[in-house]
A = this chain, B = another copy of it.
Amino acid sequence: MTDFDATRAMFHLPDGVIYLDGNSLGPLPRAAAARVARSITDEWGEMLITGWNKAGWMDQPSRVGDRIGRLIGAPPGTVVMGDTLSVKVYQALASALEMRPGRRVILSDTGNFPSDLYMADGLCRTLGDGYCLRTVAPEEVAGAVDDTVAVTMLTEVDYRTGRLHDMADLTARAHAAGALAIWDLAHSAGAIPVDLTGAGADFAVGCTYKYLNSGPGGPAFIYVAPHHAEGVRPALSGWLGHEAPFAFDADYRPGRGIERMRVGTPPVLQLAALEAALDVWDMAEMADVRARSIELTEGFIAGVEAACPMLTLASPSDPHKRGSQVSFRHPEGYAIMQALIARGVIGDFRAPDILRFGFTPLYIGLDEVRAAMAILAEVMAGNLWDRPEYKTRARVT
């Protein structure tokens, strides 16, 4: 059994804050500051260039990738870190399209995170030649995979509503139609049990600064199924994905397996923070995290629906059909969220009308959830959000 008191003690949470936004940016693992300081002072400062070998910086993207792999059902040697999620989406898409040369369609859904759609669209424009992105409503994806589709590109957990796609079912449908399946795990990794191997996913990508708590700008990851890995041609064929980067050959030869999905110099300091963050995961069982998450979200939904009838649940009511967040709709969602934040309850707002709350059992328990519900009920009952200062929109929420 996971000891959630122990995991909670591994995070720093500011006084007076109930943090329900770990699905946007995870909080600081206490060990991260010291781990990064060691990278800076003992490694960079003392080893200088030799840190690439001595401190293991060069292998860090694969070493850390394996630790992420354990959380998403990916065997060792199939996950590598680097770049941002958007860049990893582009890599996966470009490789997948090349593996299905007769087909021109990327199928996604309208609930996907915009950056994934933008990257797909940008790639199609670069490719020309009839390549296009087709989006359908999330519930229509299953019926929309036809023999024009080269690849499905889906985010398992909807960033607005928390709605969960059935990864195994949709992957099987893609394969049945001769297409490949790319899964974006931005709101899955560290949030829910993921079994890439069991689902037969071809590619997966994700970020680490949400439920994995790597800090602002932490690196992304990419997974390539083992049976594809040696056949994939990297579109972003950077030197660290080369078979022998330090031979400085004139011609590109892809590295072994997943190594070829590396591009440039890895972000050593961000990776150090991620390493500290993953130590927390060594103490947690994903099944326990999921069970506790369901307990928290069910309690939150029941409490909010009882106390705040003016809020409309935007997430699936069946806990097995949503990730680890709960969203409600309200036309004044932005102002309501500002009123909550002013009272120490941090969630976030997503246009046009979504109040989003993330539930992260590693450091959030029933007490905080109850306290957050009470504050939300007070804000709604008293219309406390109805003040001009809560309606002025900042650039980022």
Name which residue of chain B comes closest to A27, CB basis: B48
- State the CA gap A127–B123 with chains docked (Å): 10
Does A86 contact B263, Cβ atoms closer than 8 Å? yes
Q: Does A197 contact B (CB under 8 A)?
A: no
Contact among B36, B53, B119, B236 with A86 in the assembled complex (CB-CB below 8 Å):
B236
A36-B36, A248-B114 as given contacts; A238 in contact with B94, CB under 8 Å: no
Overall SS of chain A's interface: mixed
Does A394 contact B238, Cβ atoms closer than 8 Å? no
Does B36 contact A396, Cβ atoms closer than 8 Å? no
Q: Does A1 contact B (CB under 8 A)?
A: no
Q: How many positions in chain A have a CB within 8 Å of any CB in the partner chain? A: 96
Beta-carbon contacts of A185-221 to B below 8 Å, as 1s and 0s?
Answer: 0000000000000000000000101000001111110
- State the CA gap A120–B40 with chains docked (Å): 33
**Residues 42-82 (chain A) with a chain B CB within 8 angstroms:** 43-46, 48-53, 57-58, 82
Contact among B37, B41, B110, B350 with A250 in the assembled complex (CB-CB below 8 Å):
B110
Contact among B110, B263, B271 with A84 in the assembled complex (CB-CB below 8 Å):
B263
CB distance from A14 to the nearest CB of B (A): 5
Does B118 contact A242, Cβ atoms closer than 8 Å? yes
Q: Does A115 contact B (CB under 8 A)?
A: yes
Q: Does A33 contact B (CB under 8 A)?
A: yes
CB distance from A361 to the nearest CB of B (A): 17
Which of A17, A48, A50, A249 has its CB near the most chain B CB atoms (within 10 A)? A48
* Interfacial chain B residues near A288, Cβ < 8 Å: none
Does A247 contact B37, Cβ atoms closer than 8 Å? no
* Interfacial chain B residues near A41, Cβ < 8 Å: 28, 33
- State the CA gap A98–B122 with chains docked (Å): 12
CB distance from A395 to the nearest CB of B (A): 6
CB distance from A324 to the nearest CB of B (A): 16
CB distance from A192 to the nearest CB of B (A): 21
Q: Does A265 contact B (CB under 8 A)?
A: yes
Does A119 contact B207, Cβ atoms closer than 8 Å? no
Name which residue of chain B comes closest to A159, CB basis: B248
* Interfacial chain B residues near A284, Cβ < 8 Å: none
A237-B121, A264-B115 as given contacts; A40 in contact with B45, CB under 8 Å: no
Beta-carbon contacts of A96-112 to B below 8 Å, as 1s and 0s?
Answer: 00100000000000100
**Residues 234-282 (chain A) with a chain B CB within 8 angstroms:** 234-240, 242, 246-252, 263-271, 273
| 10 A–B contacts, CB within 8 A, in A order | A21-B48, A25-B48, A40-B215, A50-B341, A53-B394, A84-B263, A115-B239, A118-B242, A121-B252, A267-B267
